């Protein structure tokens, strides 16, 4: 048994060394990804702007299970309405809510299937956002982040973490993929050695790392989404946790130090907190402050909580 264990250890070390090769360097220039500045935005012509506006349509893949029914219903009722297309992919069907039933218990397998389905049904949409319903996303700010990024280039964006040599995007704060990244990923799905569907039971990696590995093999690298000040746009913690943390660390400047004005995701919030966040993001505001943003996003139809 010890020999078997050593054998597996050696194999996995061997794989780690092999996955270290980078392909084109020019695609890996930005480990930190920021939105266009206001000055740069204003230099664009109106027709360039309208082209970009169309290009940034987002397909949301929301991975649900009946166990997460409350969060599923909440995501359905709140932020997912702001995606250009949102599809809930479930492990098994629920009588309460509609979803695309993948009939699959393994989450990594579900993610693979969902990605394939989304890519095939994308229509004109070129950006993809993958998340669990426990994550809240502000899609307008996601669009702002990727506005000037070409989706026919590979992009894999979110909150990045490092595990040994592997940079990966955290699942809990949402994963952004461009059309080209999706295409390469689906191609890599065919390689059962580098990107197995059902990995070795003994060395089951979390989905986020499996995804990162497959993408890395196809020359796509994780990039950290940040604002102009370097604040993370993707958060797996709740707003109140981040505020609490800031009260402890920066008591003189709690809000300034805490979170980005253009934050994209927050995680770990219960359904009631999500409803409050929805109100806080899309409705509550101080009268008399205009922004003159370069793009306009209209409110979704048939909705009254935004």
Does residue 277 bind other proteins (CB under 8 A)?
A: yes
Q: Which of 35, 93, 39 is nearest to 64 (CA)?
A: 93
Per-residue tokens: 247? 């009260």
Closer residue to other proteins (CB): 140 or 208 = 140
162 binds other proteins (CB under 8 A): no
| Complex with other proteins: residue 11 or 247, whichever CB lies closer | 247
Q: How many positions of this chain bind other proteins (CB under 8 A)?
A: 71
Question: From the list 62, 195, 239, 269, which residue makes contact with other proteins (rule: CB under 8 A)?
Answer: 239
CB nearer to other proteins: give 12 or 42: 42
Token pair listed for 6? 């050593």
Helix, coil or strand: residue 138: coil
* Spatial distance between the Cα atoms of 149 and 140, rounded to a whole number of angstroms: 15
CB of 81 vs other proteins, minimal distance in Å: 5
**Hey, which residues between 80 and 99 contact other proteins (CB under 8 A)?**
80-86
Residues 191-230 that bind other proteins (CB under 8 A): 228
Q: How would DSSP label each residue in 77-121?
A: HTGGGGSSEEEEEESS--SSS--EE---S-HHHHHHHHHHHHHHT
Q: Can you say whether residue 196 is alpha, beta or left, with left for phi > 0 and alpha for psi between -120 and 50 degrees?
A: beta
Long-range Cβ pairs for the range 218-221 (8 Å, 24+): 218/154, 218/184, 218/185, 218/187, 218/188, 219/22, 219/23, 219/24, 219/27, 219/154, 219/184, 220/27, 220/154, 220/155, 220/156, 220/181, 220/184, 220/185, 221/22, 221/27, 221/28, 221/31, 221/156, 221/167
Q: Kindly indicate which of the ranges 8-16, 90-98, 200-208, 285-293 contains the residues binding other proteins, using the contact rule CB under 8 A.
A: 285-293
Mention every residue, 6+ apart, whose C-beta is less than 8 A from residue 54: 124
CB 58 within 8 A of CB 84: yes
Our finding on whether 70 is near other proteins (CB under 8 A) is no
Among 72, 259, 268, 269, binds other proteins (CB under 8 A): 259
Complex with other proteins: residue 165 or 293, whichever CB lies closer: 293
- 306 binds other proteins, rule: CB under 8 A: yes
Nearer to other proteins, 214 or 269 (CB): 269
Does 240 help bind other proteins (rule: CB under 8 A)? Answer: yes
Rounded to a whole number of angstroms, the minimum distance from the CB of residue 290 to other proteins is 4
**Which residues in the 24-43 window bind other proteins by CB under 8 A?**
38
Nearer to other proteins, 19 or 246 (CB): 246
Q: Which of 29, 46, 201, 202 binds other proteins (CB under 8 A)?
A: 46
Query: Which of 28, 44, 49, 70 is close enough to bind other proteins by CB under 8 A?
Result: 49
Question: Is the Cβ–Cβ distance between 267 and 136 less than 8 Å?
Answer: yes
Helix (H) or strand (E) holding 154: none
Piece in contact with other proteins (CB under 8 A), picked from 6-14, 16-24, 201-209, 241-249: 241-249
Q: Which of 3, 4, 190, 287 binds other proteins (CB under 8 A)?
A: 287
Contact, 79 vs 137, CB < 8 A?
yes
Residue 119 CB, nearest distance to other proteins (Å)?
Answer: 15
Q: What is the DSSP letter of 203?
A: G
Which residues inside 104-133 make contact with other proteins, applying CB under 8 A? Answer: 123-125
């Amino acid at each position: 048994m010890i020999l078997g264990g050593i054998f597996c250890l050696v194999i996995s070390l061997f794989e780690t060394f092999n996955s270290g090769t980078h392909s084109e360097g020019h695609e890996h220039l930005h480990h930190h990804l920021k939105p266009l500045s206001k000055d740069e935005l204003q230099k664009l012509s109106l027709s360039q702007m309208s082209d970009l506006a169309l290009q940034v349509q987002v397909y949301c893949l929301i991975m649900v299970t009946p166990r997460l029914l409350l969060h599923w219903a909440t995501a359905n009722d709140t932020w997912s309405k702001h995606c250009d297309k949102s599809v809930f992919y479930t492990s098994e069907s629920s009588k309460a809510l509609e979803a695309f039933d993948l009939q699959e218990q393994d989450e990594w397998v579900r993610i693979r299937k969902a990605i394939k389905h989304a890519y095939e049904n994308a229509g004109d949409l070129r950006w993809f956002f993958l998340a669990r319903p426990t994550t809240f996303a502000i899609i307008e700010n996601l669009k702002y982040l990727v506005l000037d990024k070409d989706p026919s280039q590979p992009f894999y964006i979110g909150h990045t973490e490092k595990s040994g040599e592997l940079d990966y995007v955290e699942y809990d704060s949402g994963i952004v993929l461009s059309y080209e990244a999706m295409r390469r990923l689906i191609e890599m799905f065919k390689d059962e050695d580098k990107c197995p569907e059902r990995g070795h039971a003994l060395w089951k990696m979390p989905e986020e790392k499996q995804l990162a590995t497959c993408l890395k093999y196809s020359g796509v690298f994780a990039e950290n989404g940040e604002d102009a000040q370097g604040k993370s746009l993707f958060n797996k913690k709740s707003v109140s946790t981040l505020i609490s943390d800031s009260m402890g660390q920066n008591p003189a400047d709690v809000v300034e130090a805490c979170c980005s004005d253009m934050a994209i995701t927050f995680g770990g919030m219960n359904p009631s907190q999500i409803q409050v966040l929805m109100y806080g993001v899309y409705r509550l505001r101080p009268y008399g402050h205009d922004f003159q943003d370069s793009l306009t996003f209209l409110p979704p139809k048939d909705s009254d909580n935004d």
